[in-house]
Amino acid sequence: LAVVIDLWSRAVIGWSMSPRMTAQLACDALQMALWRRKRPRNVIVHTDRGGQYCSADYQAQLKRHNLRGSMSAKGCCYDNACVESFFHSLKVECIHGEHFISREIMRATVFNYIECDYNRWR
């Protein structure tokens, strides 16, 4: 799961799920955020230092849409604290203790959590 969170509202504005963390997964989440925000300008995109965010494809997408990428120093999680907090909430409120019999059911559960619960209370 890759997410893009609006730091002002703390809403998840872009997300994508895949069995593996890939550059395409991160690009898909960013594309959803751009579509939902009608291609905003002067935006800083904070991420961790994962390979998917350092990839040429992801960096090219940032550049193509005039977005500024921001990664904190190695071992410093403060720039990305909002995303870390979201993943904690997702695990505690939605995933912990559940046993999903298929990826489709897990995806539907995550969709409902993000779009129907988490974003409505932010």
Q: Which residues pair with 68 in a beta bridge?
A: 44
Specify the pLDDT at position 80: 85
Over residues 40-55, the pLDDT tens digits come to: 878 999 998 889 999 9
Residue 62 scores a pLDDT above 90: yes
- Environment class of residue 95 by beta-carbon count within 10 Å: exposed (0-12), middle (13-18) or buried (19+)? middle
pTM confidence score: 0.90
Q: Looking at the domain 2-121, which fold is it? A: Nucleotidyltransferase; domain 5 (3.30.420)
Over residues 12-32, the pLDDT tens digits come to: 999 999 999 999 999 999 999
User: In the chain, where does DSSP find H-type helix?
Assistant: 23-36, 51-54, 56-64, 81-90, 103-111
Specify the pLDDT at position 42: 83
Residues 6+ positions from 65 with CB-CB distance below 8 Å: 34, 39
